[in-house]
Amino acid sequence: MSESHILSSWATNAAAWTKAVRNREIESRVRATDAAAIAAVVDRKPRRVLDLGCGEGWLANALAGRGFDALGVDAIPALIERAREGGKARFEVAGYERIAESGLDGRRFDLIVCNFALFGEESVPKLLRRLPDLLAGDGSLVIQTLHPVVATGDQPYADGWREGSWAGFSDAFTDPAPWYFRTLGSWVAMFHATGLELVELREPVDPRTNKPASVIFVAQAA
């Protein structure tokens, strides 16, 4: 599996993804995870927010519409172009490698949110080690991702690469991106190893399935 394949897949599917999000075609988001992401940010009462891996910009624009000073960054220029169509938040092209190596020009934020945006193996811990340098004071990191207990499906509950899938999406999607599966224990261990302290864990429940729709980690610099 290649982490570069993740980026190439999102570049290929930028237009289809934007359409699916804006037309509210992803049921789990409509029922649970979009509202959960916003609530996790709002509850921390930040002023300056960085939406890291912002995609087509829905979350950064939603937060800016609520009065937050929101900046969204993503490695895919086509997604940033679409994010700017929202007209509320600010957006820049910036990949995880650049941020891990040099930060964001010394800028700091009260809260960094990564909403379904951390799917690599080596890139994720490398990025997390840098994020305390981007947090102001007692700033927080909010990560929403697939819930490991649900996302493991019929496969073994063990860290490892998984094949991507666009099952349930339109035929406009092609070349699904692989992703790196982590158990809950591995996520927690990674926070400790990268200088972050887990201070809260949320498990939003899908009201239709009555199962976790995601897991949300809230961490601060140790």
* Residues of the chain predicted below pLDDT 50: none
Query: For 180, which DSSP code?
Result: E
The beta-strand segments (E) located in 75-108 are 90-93
Per-residue pLDDT tens digits for 66-101: 999 999 999 999 999 999 998 899 999 999 999 999
Q: Are 142 and 111 in contact (CB under 8 A)?
A: yes
Predicted confidence at residue 201, as pLDDT, reads 98
pTM of the model: 0.96
Residue 187 CB: number of other CB atoms within 10 A? 20
Q: Where are the domains of the chain?
A: 3-221
Q: What is the pLDDT of residue 222?
A: 85
pLDDT of residue 138: 92
Burial of residue 188 (number of CB atoms within 10 Å: 0-12, 13-18, 19+): middle
Query: For the domain bounded by 3-221, which CATH number is listed?
Result: 3.40.50.150
pLDDT at 1: 63
**Residue entry with tokens 């995870």:** 33
Tell me: the pLDDT tens digits for 152-167? 999 999 999 999 999 8
The tokens of 24 are what? 């509210």
